[in-house]
């Protein structure tokens, strides 16, 4: 188990090294830190002075090390576009995206797992077949199209929900939440559904596949032979053993949810990190791009590590080795 943790940790360090190297290249080679601070009208002498002060006359390796040192304490410089510290921009946008991702994950699990169990136990039924087809549609449909359909029905035709923004938000320290006001919750509905559809389909297909395999195994046959009720056999014994890969995939999918949130945020004008990075690319705002990359890389690595640890905790076979 300790060796397993050690390999995981080395790979984490490796990934973070690559990510920070990429992030550093965007920040340093594409962007120009001197122009960033002084503006384009500074004299040559001023530039040279700042260049030395910033350590830009040093070797690339030293600069990279300094970049990492500053990044660790959250200093990614100043945004080209609105002259604010990049870390403040990201922290201001973070809650909007995380709330969206969190709600979508909860919905995906709450809807996807029961649907997967149902389609596995009654594979020939009409409901199962339509769910199966629906899930294929769900993974073939781009998020923006789902969002646009929802806007057309609920905003343009029925006029029930607003098509953009977060609604009213409440400040809790630096965190802003839309989950405490009615308008905030209403604003969450459509983006959450849009983001969740793909995940629901995926988890449903996964649970279905796993259940179909587990139901064939000997211990399920034995449980049935013991005279346990169907409910106990399927929900306690079979489902529990089907959920292991679901943990992994759900965890890994949180990463793609953050990626797909860019699309959903663009459709609903949701003021999260996705909108931030889209604007950063549009205006060639390199410090923001570098910080976003480092931040996203760090979150993915952390999520992967947590998933591994959970896996270790729930699967006794891994611990025994």
Partner 1 sequence: MSQLVLRLKAFGNSELAWRFRNSPPVIFAAVVLIVLVFCAAAANLIAPHNPFDPATLNIMDARLPPAWIDGGSSTYLLGTDEQGRDILSTIFYGMRVSILVGIAAVAFSMTIGVALGLIAGYLGGWVDTVIMRLGDIQLSFPTIMIAFFIDGVAKIVMPIGMREEMRFYVVILAIGVADWVQFARTVRAATMIERRKDYVAAARISEVSGVRILLAHILPNTIGPVLVLATLGLGVAILTEAILSFLGLGMPPSQPSLGTLIRAGNDLLLSGEWWISLFPGAALVLLVLAVNIVGDWLRDVLNPRLR
User: Which of residues 153 and 179 has its CB atom nearest to partner 1 in the complex?
Assistant: 153
CB of 100 to partner 1, least distance (A): 16
CB of 266 to partner 1, least distance (A): 6
Site residues (vs partner 1, CB under 8 A): 11, 14-15, 18, 26, 30, 136-137, 139-145, 148-149, 151-152, 155-156, 163, 255-256, 258-260, 262-263, 266-267, 277-278, 281-282, 284, 289, 293, 296-297, 300-301, 304
CB of 47 to partner 1, least distance (A): 23
User: Which of residues 206 and 223 has its CB atom nearest to partner 1 in the complex?
Assistant: 206
Kindly calculate the radius of gyration of the chain based on its CA atoms and give it in whole angstroms: 24
Helix (H, G, I), strand (E, B) or coil at 90: helix
CB of 19 to partner 1, least distance (A): 9
User: Which of residues 19 and 233 has its CB atom nearest to partner 1 in the complex?
Assistant: 19
Q: Residue 166 has which token pair?
A: 């977060």
Q: What is the maximum span of the chain, computed from C-alpha positions, in angstroms? A: 88
User: Which of residues 220 and 273 has its CB atom nearest to partner 1 in the complex?
Assistant: 273
User: Which of residues 233 and 273 has its CB atom nearest to partner 1 in the complex?
Assistant: 273
Separation of alpha carbons 27 and 280, rounded Å: 12
CB of 245 to partner 1, least distance (A): 16
CB of 252 to partner 1, least distance (A): 8
Q: Residue 27 has which token pair?
A: 């920040």
User: Which of residues 64 and 144 has its CB atom nearest to partner 1 in the complex?
Assistant: 144
- C-alpha 101: how far from its chain's center? 6
Q: Which CA distances in Å does 156 have to 13, 50, 142, 184, 187?
A: 49, 54, 20, 19, 15
CB of 318 to partner 1, least distance (A): 19
Q: At what angle do helices 126-140 and 182-215 cross, to 10 degrees?
A: 120
Given CA atoms 8, 14, 20, 22 in this order, what sign does their dihedral have? negative
CB of 149 to partner 1, least distance (A): 7
DSSP 273-313: HHHHHHHHHHTT-HHHHHHHHHHHHHHHHHHHHHHHHHHHH
Torsion angle of alpha carbons 11, 13, 19, 20, nearest 10°?
Answer: -170
Q: What share of the chain is helix, strand, coil (3-state, %, to 5)?
A: 80, 0, 20
User: Which of residues 233 and 285 has its CB atom nearest to partner 1 in the complex?
Assistant: 285
- C-alpha 225: how far from its chain's center? 43
β-pair partners for 146: none
- C-alpha 227: how far from its chain's center? 44
């Amino acid at each position: 188990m300790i060796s397993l943790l050690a390999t995981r940790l080395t790979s984490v360090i490796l990934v973070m090294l690559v990510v920070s190297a990429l992030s550093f290249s965007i920040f340093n080679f594409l962007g120009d830190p001197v122009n960033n601070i002084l503006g384009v009208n500074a004299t040559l002498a001023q530039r040279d002075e700042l260049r030395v002060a910033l350590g830009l006359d040093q070797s690339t390796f030293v600069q990279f090390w300094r970049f990492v040192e500053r990044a660790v304490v959250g200093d990614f410089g100043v945004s080209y576009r609105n002259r604010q510290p990049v870390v403040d921009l990201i922290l201001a946008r973070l809650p909007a995206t995380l709330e969206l991702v969190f709600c979508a994950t909860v919905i995906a699990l709450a809807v996807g797992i029961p649907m997967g169990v149902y389609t596995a136990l009654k594979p020939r039924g009409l409901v199962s077949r339509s769910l199966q087809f629906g899930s294929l549609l769900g993974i073939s449909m781009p998020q923006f199209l789902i969002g646009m359909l929802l806007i057309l029905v609920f905003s343009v035709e029925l006029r029930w929900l607003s098509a953009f923004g977060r609604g009213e938000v409440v400040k809790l320290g630096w965190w802003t939440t839309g989950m405490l006001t009615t308008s905030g919750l209403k604003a969450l509905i459509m983006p959450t559904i849009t983001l969740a559809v793909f995940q629901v389909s995926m988890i449903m297909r996964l649970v279905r596949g796993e259940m179909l395999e587990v139901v064939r195994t000997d211990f399920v046959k034995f449980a049935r032979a013991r005279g346990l009720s169907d409910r106990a056999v399927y929900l306690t014994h079979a489902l529990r053993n089907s959920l292991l890969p679901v943990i992994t995939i759900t965890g890994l999918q949180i990463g793609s949810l953050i990626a797909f949130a860019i699309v959903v945020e663009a459709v609903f004008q949701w003021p999260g990190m996705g909108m931030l990075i889209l604007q950063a690319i549009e205006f060639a705002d390199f410090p923001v791009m570098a910080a976003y990359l480092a931040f996203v890389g760090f979150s993915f690595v952390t999520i992967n590590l947590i998933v591994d640890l959970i896996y270790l905790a729930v699967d006794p076979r891994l611990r025994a080795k």
